[in-house]
Amino acid sequence: MSAKRKAATQKQAAMVFDLNKCMGCQTCSVACKTLWTRAEGQEYQWWCTVNTLPGRGHPRDWESMGGGYSDDIPMAGRRPARREWGGGWDYNYDEVLNSGKAQDKHLHVLGEQPEWGPNWDEDQGAGEYPNSYFFYLPRLCNHCTKPACVEACPRGAMSKREEDGIVLRDESNCRGYQFCLEACPYKKIYFNFTREISEHCILCYPRLEQNVAPSCVRGCPGRAVWFGFLDDETGPVHKLVKKWEVALPLHPEYETEPNVFYIPPILPARLTEANDFEDSQPRVPTEYLESLFGPRVRTALETLSREMASTRSGGKSELMDTLIAYWWKDMFKPFDQDPGEIEWARTAGGQPGERVK
């Protein structure tokens, strides 16, 4: 692996999602949407969104669009077409709710009928009843250690911030070439068709600078996401990723070294024809999880199962205590400042800027 492609940062901000706790409520998606992507040209942008798996994701079939590296060689990638993102659309709420004709009118999409959108295949999943299955996968920019988007930009508009490893963009340098989007194997760059520049998740850096966790993290009602520095050996992110090795990157074979990690899902065991649980058969095929999280998922699942069994029989487990997350402040240190206690200035675009006191 080429050292020159790996950005040397003092620390690396990282997050862990527990796919056993994520309930697909999309609170993280909406928290991000309302904070960052409400302007013209951003209608279709969901910097953070939760996909149902198995599914085709967002943009549609993004896993087949290329990018990233193979044996440290940059791989060709393609841009998703507009129809593969799906657009933003609106409903006839006014007609149904305010016209006094609610008995006759029903909700429908206004204008052109959409063909795809974020989480279009929600909860369809796979498998056959009663052993069908699905789970949720929150997705955002991975703020990769080896960010293909940064290397692909000929203008140096994308960079990795030294103090915390966030991948940022200098919009004044962007000319809208979209090479970053082609190179990103996760397709987590969005072209703003109005401003004609690329945009992406900035990990809520104005919040981080005030020790406030990102809005997607802070908004999660399921305590399903941890945030902190990967290098902080006392923090839960380090423990889940490095110590217990139960939190894994999505598609490690893309070789960008993501800093968003996932605890793989363990669903209830399969049912036999006699409606008994068949303990030896996982409901989600391990091969499928391996296709997402790589071969280390088998050991991670074994560790999770072992620690769960130990706790059920009365034992103590640091791993289980961490995953239960008894106290929310322990999940985000040192980013546990309450955003409600900070008065934020607003930029002209209505987005949070500097803290004013």
Residue among 45 and 322 whose Cβ is closer to ligand SF4: 45
Q: Binding marks (x or -) toward ligand SF4, 129..158, rule CB under 6 A?
A: ------------xxxx--xxx---------
Q: Classify residue 54 by burial, with Cβ atoms within 10 Å: 0-12, 13-18, 19+.
A: buried
- Per the structure block, which two tokens stand in for 52? 């149902």
Query: CB of residue 144 vs ligand SF4: minimum separation in angstroms?
Result: 3
Least distance (Å) between residue 176 CB and ligand SF4 = 16
Strand duo 260-263 + 13-18: pairing: parallel
Q: Which stretch binds ligand SF4 (CB under 6 A): 19-27, 106-114, 185-193, 211-219?
A: 185-193
* C-alpha torsion angle, residues 165, 24, 306, 14 (rounded to 10): 10
CB nearer to ligand SF4: pick between 185 and 264: 185
- Please state, as a whole number, how many other Cβ atoms lie within 10 Å of the Cβ of residue 116: 18
Task: Quickly list H helices, 99-184.
Answer: 148-152, 179-183
45 binds ligand SF4 (CB under 6 A): no
* Dihedral (CA of 208, 211, 215, 216) sign: positive
Single residue of 189, 217, 241, 331 touching ligand SF4 by CB under 6 A: 189
For the CB of residue 265, give the shortest distance to ligand SF4 in the complex, in Å. 22
Contacts with ligand SF4: how many residues (CB under 6 A)? 14
Rounded alpha-carbon distances, angstroms, from residue 122 to 15, 26, 226, 270: 24, 11, 24, 22
Q: Is 230 in the site for ligand SF4 (CB under 6 A)?
A: no
Q: Which is nearer to ligand SF4, 145 or 337 (CB)?
A: 145
CB of 283 to ligand SF4, least distance (A): 29
Query: Toward ligand SF4, which CB reaches closer, 199 or 307?
Result: 199
Q: Quick one: DSSP state of residue 241?
A: I
Comparing CB distances to ligand SF4, the nearer of 144 and 323 is: 144
By C-beta, is 9 or 337 nearer to ligand SF4? Answer: 9
CB of 149 or CB of 208, closer to ligand SF4: 149
Decide if residue 256 touches ligand SF4 (CB under 6 A). Answer: yes
Q: Is 121 exposed, middle or buried (0-12, 13-18, 19+ CB in 10 A)?
A: middle
Instruction: Round to the nearest angstrom and report the end-to-end CA distance of the chain.
Output: 45
Q: What is the CA radius of gyration of the chain?
A: 21
Per CB under 6 A, does 200 bind ligand SF4?
yes
User: From the list 58, 188, 238, 283, which residue makes contact with ligand SF4 (rule: CB under 6 A)?
Assistant: 188
In the complex, what is the shortest distance from the CB of residue 84 to ligand SF4, in angstroms, rounded to a whole number? Answer: 16
Q: Say if CB 150 and CB 159 are below 8 A apart.
A: yes
Of 35, 184, 284, 331, which lies in the binding site for ligand SF4, with binding defined by CB under 6 A?
A: 184
Tokens of 302: 């074994």
Q: Cα–chain-centroid distance for residue 133?
A: 20
Is residue 186 close enough to count as binding ligand SF4 by CB under 6 A?
yes
- Which residues on neighbouring strands pair with residue 16, listed in sequence order? 226, 261
Position 284 contacts ligand SF4 (CB under 6 A): no
- Any bridge partners for residue 95, and if so which? none
Binding stretches for ligand SF4 (CB under 6 A): 141-144, 147-149, 167, 184, 186, 188-189, 200, 256
